[in-house]
Amino acid sequence: MTLKIKDVTKRFGKHTAVDHLSLEIPEKEMFGILGGNGAGKTTTFRMILGLLDITEGEISWNDEAIGYDKSHLIGYLPEERGLYPKLKVRDQIIYLGKLRGMRKSEVVTELEAWLKRFKVPEYMDKKIEELSKGNQQKIQFISAIIHKPKLLILDEPFSGLDPVNVEMLKEAVIDLKERGTSIVFSSHQMEHVEELCEHLCILHKGKPVVQGTLREIKQSYGRKNLVIHAAIPLEFLRDFPGVVSYKKVTEGCELQIENEDVSQGIFRELQGKGFVRKFELEEPTLNDIFIEKVGASYE
């Protein structure tokens, strides 16, 4: 079971929203699509779901086109949440489950288990409009996965959730992946993608500017971060050969360096100058990579 996106482009008139995107998501894999506002994430999802026509290229799921006949295999959490405010949680989910071919009793059993897991069993008979936004989102998530889809598409699943609920949802998503679901999700927040995904793609103005496994991406990037805590002046490192950026912090500095060798030069330079409490070489973060490739942070 693999989702394949082959050289897909989407144009709205003269505007290119997605520009030659290719990716594959096999079973049991979580794929993250990162990008700022207007990068093309939602457009990509809508094309996967067959809600938008593809201008060029192909999208397939197990080598077949995705259409309405496959909706029982696919779960979708849209960016604009869409539950019926006046309906009770139970009725809402039963309605959606039945649309996907489930029996009422099956839906209720699943729903009870999920509400319990999300620590809100009492919501069964509450109306959607009585719930907070974050809790509505939990219900919307349940509505996307109640039928145990094989392919799950989550558009900004963590936006608007507090840290406790983010963790709860992350665990649920990891469990679904381990049970065999292919998952693709979008986010503005790089730390979520960094934590959850084996493969990822950064979209910028519709173009995939970075793509691969997290490991590959970090390794091929080359640059490293170096954290130094020392009670001696470190300002001179600002102009040290191979130092790309210098940030002063309370106890010392944080540097971005061109490669590992630069850290050895710095290490030698500091020897004998005074006590160094911390000298730590770290992998670049996705945020570092994004800033380098796209030129801005997107918080």
User: Using the rule CB under 6 A, is 225 a contact of ligand ATP?
Assistant: no
The answer for residues whose C-beta is within 8 angstroms of residue 86's C-beta and 6 or more apart is: 127, 128, 129
Contact stretch for ligand ATP (CB under 6 A) within 31-39, 86-94, 143-151, 169-177: 31-39
- Write down the least CB distance from residue 36 to ligand ATP, Å: 7
- Write down the least CB distance from residue 226 to ligand ATP, Å: 33
Residue closer to ligand ATP (CB basis): 206 or 252: 206
Contact stretch for ligand ATP (CB under 6 A) within 33-41, 133-141, 173-181, 262-270: 33-41
Phi, psi of 130 (to 5 degrees): -85, -10
User: Using the rule CB under 6 A, is 40 a contact of ligand ATP?
Assistant: yes
DSSP annotation of 158 reads: T
3-state class (DSSP) for residue 58: strand
Phi, psi of 49 (to 5 degrees): -80, -5
User: Residues 35, 97, 157, 208: which binds ligand ATP (CB under 6 A)?
Assistant: 35
User: Are residues 145 and 183 in contact, defined by beta-carbon separation less than 8 angstroms?
Assistant: no
Q: How far apart are CA 228 and CA 207, in angstroms?
A: 36
- Write down the least CB distance from residue 294 to ligand ATP, Å: 13
Buried b (16+ CB within 10 A) or exposed e, 75-97: bbbbeebebeeeebbbebbbebb
**String of DSSP letters for 153-174:** EEESTTTT--HHHHHHHHHHHH
Residue 54 tokens, joined = 């593809």
Residue closer to ligand ATP (CB basis): 46 or 147: 46
- Write down the least CB distance from residue 242 to ligand ATP, Å: 35
User: Using the rule CB under 6 A, is 234 a contact of ligand ATP?
Assistant: no
User: Using the rule CB under 6 A, is 39 a contact of ligand ATP?
Assistant: yes
User: Using the rule CB under 6 A, is 78 a contact of ligand ATP?
Assistant: no
3-state class (DSSP) for residue 126: coil
DSSP annotation of 127 reads: B
Q: Is 178 exposed, middle or buried (0-12, 13-18, 19+ CB in 10 A)?
A: exposed
Residue closer to ligand ATP (CB basis): 74 or 203: 203
Residue 30 tokens, joined = 């979580």
User: Using the rule CB under 6 A, is 43 a contact of ligand ATP?
Assistant: yes
Residue closer to ligand ATP (CB basis): 39 or 253: 39
User: Residues 37, 105, 250, 271: which binds ligand ATP (CB under 6 A)?
Assistant: 37
User: Using the rule CB under 6 A, is 84 a contact of ligand ATP?
Assistant: no
User: Using the rule CB under 6 A, is 17 a contact of ligand ATP?
Assistant: yes
By CB under 6 A, name the binding residues for ligand ATP: 12, 15, 17, 35, 37-43, 79
